[in-house]
Structure 1
Amino acid sequence: MSLEFLLTSLVVVLLPGTGVIYTLAIGLGRGFKASVAAAVGCTLGILPAAVASIIGLAALLHTSALAFQVIKYLGVAYLFFMAWRIMKDDTVMEMPEDKSQIGYLRIATTGTLLNVLNPKLSLFFLAFLPQFISPSAPNATASLIWLAILFMMMTFIVFVGYGVFAAYAREYVIRRPDVMKWIKRCFAGTFGFLGAKLAIAN
């Protein structure tokens, strides 16, 4: 493990993306515990991409245009669905009466799907992880697994930090319905933009 890997990973994790937007939306709408569930889901959503890159499935996606396009447009559809859901479903950005584990499980599942349906993640890991491992190094596969685990741990910690920020801002926001309305529009617009960007990406 190198300092370069840690710093590069931190920059990548901090960059706003679907996971960050989703965690912030949940934190603002439902509070800190719900944002932790979102962070858990988004982190678990990285696992298939990390595993795929390690066993070579990411290379298959890179060479198989059909496989990449299928996963890509599933991701596009899900992002558009999230944009529509935030605008139409008040329970996404409002405090629900039901605070059971089932609600947290649903939040985590949605976060997981957001990352699972992002084909760019597998290609990212395919290009990113090997840069920090020497091909001739002993136990290279084990080293790749360890780096992927570290990346996921950093993702979870940073996303929880985003959730803390959103939860603290929540008390200010929920007293001002007009502010919440504009925040919902911004989040929905962001998901729509990310979906459109993914749709036209090569």
Structure 2
Amino acid sequence: MLFEPTRLVAFILAGLVLNLTPGPDTMYVLARSMGQGRAAGFVSALGICVGCLFHIAAAALGLSALLATSAMAFLVVKWVGALYLVWMGVRMLRSKQGPEAVRELQPASLWRIFRDGVVTNVLNPKVALFFLAFLPQFVDPSRGSPGLQFVLLGLLFDVTGTLWLAFLAGVAGAFGGWLRRNPRFAAWQQRVTGGVFVALGARLALQERS
């Protein structure tokens, strides 16, 4: 067996606790779900899932180690990600906000929502550093290929996290539907969603290397 049973159970429990902790991915899915409904929320969760696959592969190939040791690499990825989030938020804040204008707003395509989810996750260096710091604690070289164990644990964490985000998308999407049926609340929600993206970008920009 690649994994000792008690070690695997400990990893699953630790991963669940980490997934339940609100973070940028959770806020992104909630904002999209409340803005356009369950489908948009599910697609954004899928985009984040794909973004995590990038981090799993990058960590296995050594990119995470580079981000952990190179201040310049960390800063470049961090600031690109932060600017992307702020740009999305400002774009939403500058949209027309009146009740009539809200009815005319064209929702983002599912492809665009998926793409934004992928990019938001990929450009967050904290995710890469998380995989580098968390997963190796549960890898046992005496049980087989460390690289294979790393990838399998990463996929397990990604799947459980995606299931949790999909659940949140379903709940937030149902509540968001009521908001969208009221134009004034819909205009308010548009501002809040844009503010969330700006806040996420600022939060990412202010994060320090650890």
TM-score interval, normalised by the smaller of the two chains: 0.7 to 0.9
2-side partners of 1:119 and 1:29: how far apart?
Answer: 26
Name 1:125's counterpart in structure 2: 131
Can you give the 5+ residue segments of structure 1 that lack an aligned partner in the other structure?
A: none
58 and 6 in structure 1: CA distance in 2 versus 1, 3 angstrom threshold: same
Asked if structure 2 preserves the Cα contact closer than 8 Å seen for 1:29 and 1:95, the reply is: no
Query: How many residue pairs are counted as aligned between the two chains?
Result: 198
Kept in 2, the 8 Å contact 1:79–1:114? The answer is yes
Structure-1 separation of matches of 2:42 and 2:203: 27
- Which residue of the other structure, out of 31, 39, 53, is the alignment partner of 2:59? 53
Does residue 73 (structure 1) correspond to residue 73 (structure 2)? The answer is: no
Matching residue of 1:20 = 26
Letter in 2 for 1:141: G
Q: Contact between 1:21 and 1:187, CA under 8 Å: does it hold in 2?
A: no
Aligned counterpart in structure 2 of residue 110 of structure 1, from 112, 116, 137: 116
* Bigger Rg, structure 1 or 2: 2
Alpha carbons 1:30, 1:95 under 8 Å: kept: no
Q: Please tell me the root mean square deviation across aligned C-alpha atoms, in Å.
A: 2.4
Q: Residues 5 and 89 (structure 1 numbering): CA distance in 2 closer, same or farther, change over 3 Å?
A: farther
Does residue 195 of structure 1 match 2:201?
Answer: yes
Contact 1:39 1:111 (C-alpha < 8 Å) held by counterparts? yes
TM-score by length of 1: 0.87
TM-score by length of structure 2 reads 0.84
In structure 1, distance between residues paired with 2:105 and 2:186: 18
Counterpart residue identity of residue 61, structure 1: L
Structure 2 gaps of 5+ residues are 97-101
Contact 1:30 1:96 in 2 (8 A): no
CA-CA distance at 1:75 after TM superposition: 0.9
Cα distance per residue 1:29-83 (max 9 Å; x no partner): 2222222111111110111211122222111111111111111100110121122
Q: State the shift of 1:141 in Å.
A: 1.5
Q: CA deviation at 1:5?
A: 1.1
Partner of 1:172: 178
Task: State the match for 1:11 in structure 2.
Answer: 17
Name the CA shift for 1:193/1:64 in 2 (closer, same or farther; >3 Å).
Answer: same
Residue of structure 2 equivalent to 1:41: 47
1:84 aligned residue: 90
Match of 1:63 in 2: 69
Q: Is the 8 A contact 1:54 1:126 kept in 2?
A: no
Residue 16 of structure 1 aligns to a residue whose secondary structure is coil
1:185 aligns with 2:175: no
The 3 A distance-change label for structure 1 pair 96 and 22 is: farther
Measured against aligned partners, the alpha-carbon deviations of 1:126-172 in whole angstroms (never above 9, x if no partner) come to 00101111233312211111111111111211111111001211232
How far off is 1:97 after superposition? 9.0
Match of 1:152 in 2: 158
User: Which amino acid letter does the alignment assign opposite residue 66 of structure 2?
Assistant: L
